[in-house]
A and B are shown apart, each in its own frame.
Chain A
């Protein structure tokens, strides 16, 4: 139904365009016509914009608010004795039962209240739908006629259309801000709800993370289940292993490529590294499970000690491979930004290439390289699929790389995969972890980007 409405609005918009164009073309025939300010197309676009945009916005807003409004109407229409004493979760359960009955999915014997509610829900939904269609179409058509009546030979249609375009562009630009606000607001809101059930101190400093247990009613508040320290430690352990793999390989590759390699070799190696960067992380995750983890386990067996199949080492090593091209290209940029005059200065004193690199270029490029490494750490912390597939789920507080550990992102995914109830601390805990993750990566990025920017300015 909605798609038909949108098509209808589109049709009205097209009609508006032609209505505007025909009216503008008719000006020339009128008596006393001297010249037209704007091309006829702009007159058409002006009418079309007024016919299309406000009604489209109306539909969007309507859709946003229809659900909550009908829900609150429904709640207030339920018999008070039925609603009394229900907390939000139970109320939501009741609402979703009514809605599912309204859609015709009847399981068992719904009681009279639910049936009556479903009936009301259906009738209100229908009323709302038709009201929306009627108001959107009438708004569109009314706007068409008003806008068309404004057209005149000296009417500055082009300027009007350009102002509308500018306004649209500004709205588009604001989406970036809205997204950030949306992220922060939704994470904060759910986190605050989480903290109303679990104390922040316990979440931030607790040593025991067993969110699944909390599914049992009697254990929701019984202590220690949401202490996220083991999760943080696991995240840092895997990120550390990843950096241990990625930093030397990435840095030395960059050094070789910028300072030693022939242009032919650069032309071959750089695209290959870019391939490594373009591989989706789910592929790396499968690579870890398919190849790296079994190889490591066998190697461990060969040396006579046990490496878990989902060890931190395997997940971290594969994440390190993913980060190699990242570190290499950022180090490459940093080294390339060091001015040639410093190289000349060093060679002019008789330094070898190696001495120039280690004693002059690397120290000079250090801020840029550090910025790149920080960005890579932020990526490692936020990386999801590799650890979801290759790391553990149980939060063990250990620094042993041969044992399985879990990470923030793994917990977010495992807590939210499948059906999610927004009144359960288990679900909300994922948002609290998400907030921590967002804030930490944001800080790392801001610091890293400012280091890199300062460093660039130094040589610009």
Chain B
């Protein structure tokens, strides 16, 4: 279903997918005078999990944070190039970043529940965006979101207790529920399992695979095993360049680029 043009010399790779959810062209990111990302071209398919892998400092998280313009919160960061979601340029000055972030949910590396109750954590997004009409709607939405995040069964009796009292894996699933509650169509996950134990990781991974039926998921991960387990597409990043992009199976079994091979087969990183 896709073709890729792999040119090992340059990092400008055009990876086309049919009817992509997100397209990016020549995306560069600068932190002050330092360039962190060089001309990334990438199309991300809808209703699938796409993994961004690569050694530390390769720019994969920086790239991920372009999709919901989280880089805006860093004063010295500057993004050039074009990123479109559903054919809409998200760096269009007329576009409202608040709306964008509601539609593009994000889950962070470390679980970061607000120091409030579980209910308040999930209800926060819908409340500020005005997604529900009344309290009943809100309760329903919170329940649905927790249900989808696979947490409802575990917390339904203590939904008004602090979210910070949950275990690490539960906290991360709470953060996923919190992201789902704003009714996004894309969920970005920045190494969502790096702070979790294996059992909690398995649960979150299972959840990702379920969620990709309804959401487009982009995940940054350190763990190649995880990328293999959960994603359909994988992109490999290396010191600011997107080196190779393709079906997960192909990337892991038959990498084209020398650098990808070195990384996958454990010669560096």
Contact = CB atoms under 8 A, between A and B. Distances in A.
B192 to A, nearest CB: 12
Nearest to A347: B73
A342 interface: yes
Interface stretch (B24-32, B97-105, B243-251): B97-105
B57 interface: no
A88 B185 CA distance: 88
Interface string A341-369: 11111111111100100011001100000
B114 A346 contact: yes
A67 interface: no
Contact of A349 (B73, B105, B115): B105
A345 B179 CA distance: 9
Contacts of A262: 75
Interface in B38-58: none
Given A349-B102, A349-B178, A351-B98, A344 B108 contact: yes
Interface residues of B, number: 30
Contacts of A363: 114-116
Contacts of A344: 70, 73, 106, 108, 112
B124 interface: yes
Interface in B78-125: 97-103, 105-108, 110, 112-116, 124-125
Given A350-B100, A352-B98, 11 more contacts: A341-B110, A344-B70, A347-B73, A348-B68, A349-B124, A349-B125, A349-B178, A350-B182, A359-B128, A360-B124, A364-B115
B175 interface: yes
B129 interface: yes
A345 B105 CA distance: 10
B70 A348 contact: yes
A300 interface: no
Contacts of A360: 114, 124
A350 B114 contact: no
A345 B124 CA distance: 11
Contacts of A350: 97-103, 125, 128-129, 182
Contact of B128 (A339, A343, A348, A351): A351
B179 A348 contact: yes
B103 to A, nearest CB: 8
A137 B115 CA distance: 68
Given A342-B114, A360-B114, A348 B98 contact: no
Contacts of B102: 349-350
Interface in A314-362: 339, 341-352, 355, 359-360
Size bracket, chain A contacts: 20 to 34
Contact of A345 (B75, B108, B188): B108
Nearest to B129: A350
Kindly name the residue among B68, B112, B113 whose own CB sees the greatest number of chain A CB atoms within 10 A: B112
A345 B112 contact: yes
A2 B175 CA distance: 75
A399 to B, nearest CB: 37
Contacts of B106: 344, 348-349
A364 B73 contact: no
Nearest to B110: A341
A350 B95 CA distance: 13
B112 A342 contact: yes
A342 B175 CA distance: 11
Contacts of A347: 70, 73, 101
Given A350-B129, A350-B182, A351-B98, A339 B116 contact: no
Nearest to B97: A350
21 contacts: A262-B75, A341-B110, A342-B112, A342-B115, A344-B112, A345-B175, A346-B124, A347-B73, A348-B70, A348-B179, A348-B188, A349-B105, A349-B106, A349-B128, A350-B97, A350-B125, A351-B125, A355-B128, A360-B124, A363-B116, A458-B115
Interface in B139-190: 175, 178-179, 182, 188
B123 to A, nearest CB: 11
Contact of B105 (A348, A351, A364): A348
A339 B105 CA distance: 20
Nearest to B106: A348
A348 B98 CA distance: 9
A345 B172 CA distance: 12
Interface string B3-37: 00000000000000000000000000000000000
Nearest to B178: A349
Given A348-B106, A355-B128, A363-B115, A343 B73 contact: yes
A355 B127 CA distance: 11
Interface string B182-213: 10000010000000000000000000000000
A458 B164 CA distance: 11
Interface in A172-215: none
A349 B125 CA distance: 6
A351 B127 CA distance: 10
B100 A348 contact: no
Interface string A363-394: 11000000000000000000000000000000
A349 B182 contact: yes
Nearest to A366: B115
B179 A341 contact: no
Contacts of A345: 108, 112-114, 175, 178
Nearest to B175: A345
